[in-house]
Every structure is written in C-alpha cells, then in structure tokens.
Amino acid sequence: LTRVHSSDKVGLMARTHGDIDWERIHGLSNYVETGDCWRECGSYCCKTNHAEFSFRFIRAGQVLLPLCPAEYDYLKAQGRLPDDSPQAVSRLAVELEPDRSAAVYMVRCDRGGLCDHPDFRPLICKIYPYYPYPSPEGDVEELVLGSVFDVARWAKDGHLACPALQNEEEAVRGKAKQNYARLFEHPHLIFYFRMGWGVMQLMLEHLRAEHSDILELPLTDYFKKWEVLYMTGKLTPAPEVVQLGRKEYEKVSRVWGDFDLE
C-alpha cells in the first residue's frame, strides 16, 4: 500500500475501510507467542470473575471487547463475531464534525477462553497482553498494556495480573512488535489504535487528578469505585474524547489522506 501525502490527495476519494487486508491480518493467529500460557492462569484475560473484581455493570464471566467499525463489519460479515446476538453488541459513537463520527462496537464474550473462532479472535484478543501504539505513519512506537483493567490495576499498585507479562521474555516482546506491523497498513486501524490508547491516557489523567483517593482503597473497593467512574464516563468525558478524535484524525489524515471512520 502506498501512503498518500496530503499534498498528493487532490482529486482522490477518501480511503474506505473496505480495502483493509483482513486475510493478511487474520493470517496470523498468534501475534504474541506465549504458548499455552492460559494453562497457568485459567485464561485470566478472557474472564472478569476474579476475586478483586466486584463489578456492578460488568457481569462476572463476561468481557466486553472493543472493535473498530471496520473490524466489526468484517467479523460480522464472516459470521465470526464472538457473540452476534443483538443484546451482545453495543455501539458507542462521538461526532467529530457534522459529517464525521468515530465509533466503537463493544462486543460481549462469555466463552472464558474457549473461543468459537480461534483464528478470528478479535484483534484486542490477538494482540494481548500488549497493545501496540502506532505513529501516524503506522510504525509501532511502543507496546503498552492490553486491557483497561490492566491499566487500572497498574495505576493502583503497579501489579501485572497476566503471568506472561510478569515473566516477560524480551524475544517474545520483540517478535510481537514485528508482528504488529501488519496491523498498521491502513489509516482506519492506525486511527483507532491511537484513539484507544489516547482514551486510556484520559482515564489515567482523570483518575490521578480527581479521584486519587480511590487509589488508596483496598483492591476490591478500588475496582468497585473505579468501575462506576469508568462506566459512567467520569474518567473519559465526551468533550475530551471528541477533541482527541479531531486531533488524531488530523494527524493520521495528514499522512494518509482522508479516510472513512465508519
């Protein structure tokens, strides 16, 4: 794929997400070579029924997986969503401009590690326990934590719940970083991965600035309070998410030209 510089894009239509090469992306089943790591932890990352989680909104045993619009459309068309019953899917969107919205689909999974479509796991599962943060050009700049729960826990006491992360091997991390490169050959995915980490940053900033008292609570109480703040949007205020989305669209489209977000 050729990157389009804004000076070259006169007369070009906005890139559609229909030209993402999903076969190439899903041609790789394991982005991170952690072997049968689930044997050690009982698929910790696929579940929420942990002693330290006592949630009100998030049901025990279920995880909510964030999918960008292109990924959602692809997996749905292929009949490979983890759960495609209407009540398992919700769409959250913010309007960036009158004719441009950014959206994320939250898809429920209650399989607890026994995926129905292992080779077509959502990307958020395939990339775990890391989350690659790409530059606007699509280079993997850094690897950060791969779930919002991991980020929230790390903010409290620096603990890493995933055993594969606790015993991280430099070679595995390096190989994963190489593997992630194929995710960032299209601006749609670059934008949404940048947004994902940007929203996590907002969550951390608001947690530390306005709710630092909860960081001192015992773990279960902390997660109880954190969940309410997070699920009610207090840690990620909509106007700031809109600002972030506008800024990220500007950065990514400056490199790749206009592209569709939905």
- Nearer Cβ to ligand SF4, position 96 or 183? 183
- Nearer Cβ to ligand SF4, position 34 or 253? 34
Q: Report in angstroms how near the CB of residue 34 gets to ligand SF4 at its nearest.
A: 5
Note whether 43 binds ligand SF4 by CB under 6 A. Answer: yes
Measured distance CA(106)–CA(85) in Å, rounded: 12
Choose among 106, 70, 114, 61: nearest CA to 88. Answer: 106
Tell me which stretch binds ligand SF4 (CB under 6 A): 10-18, 38-46, 150-158, 204-212.
38-46
Surface-to-core class of residue 39, CB atoms within 10 Å of its CB (0-12 exposed, 13-18 middle, 19+ buried): exposed
Note whether 62 binds ligand SF4 by CB under 6 A. Answer: no
Note whether 162 binds ligand SF4 by CB under 6 A. Answer: yes
Which own/partner contact pairs does 77-86 have at CB distance under 8 Å and 24+ positions apart? 78/120, 80/116, 80/117, 80/120, 81/107, 82/107, 82/108, 82/109, 82/111, 82/115, 82/116, 82/117, 82/121, 82/122, 83/107, 83/108, 83/109, 83/110
Measured distance CA(123)–CA(245) in Å, rounded: 21
- Nearer Cβ to ligand SF4, position 38 or 154? 38
Q: Report the residue from 4, 41, 94, 255 that binds ligand SF4 according to the rule CB under 6 A.
A: 41
- Nearer Cβ to ligand SF4, position 43 or 201? 43
Tell me which stretch binds ligand SF4 (CB under 6 A): 111-119, 172-180, 181-189, 206-214.
111-119
Which own/partner contact pairs does 145-153 have at CB distance under 8 Å and 24+ positions apart? 145/200, 146/45, 147/45, 148/200, 148/203, 148/230, 149/48, 149/53, 151/200, 151/203, 151/204, 152/203, 152/207, 152/223, 152/226, 152/230, 153/52
Site for ligand SF4 in 190-249 (CB under 6 A): none
> Do 252 and 258 meet the contact criterion of CB atoms below 8 Å apart?
no
Site for ligand SF4 in 71-90 (CB under 6 A): 82
Q: Report the residue from 103, 106, 115, 217 that binds ligand SF4 according to the rule CB under 6 A.
A: 115
Note whether 45 binds ligand SF4 by CB under 6 A. Answer: yes
Note whether 145 binds ligand SF4 by CB under 6 A. Answer: no
Note whether 113 binds ligand SF4 by CB under 6 A. Answer: yes
Note whether 128 binds ligand SF4 by CB under 6 A. Answer: yes
Note whether 164 binds ligand SF4 by CB under 6 A. Answer: yes
- Residues near ligand SF4, by CB under 6 A: 34, 37-38, 40-41, 43-46, 63, 82, 109, 111, 113, 115, 121-122, 125, 128-129, 162-164
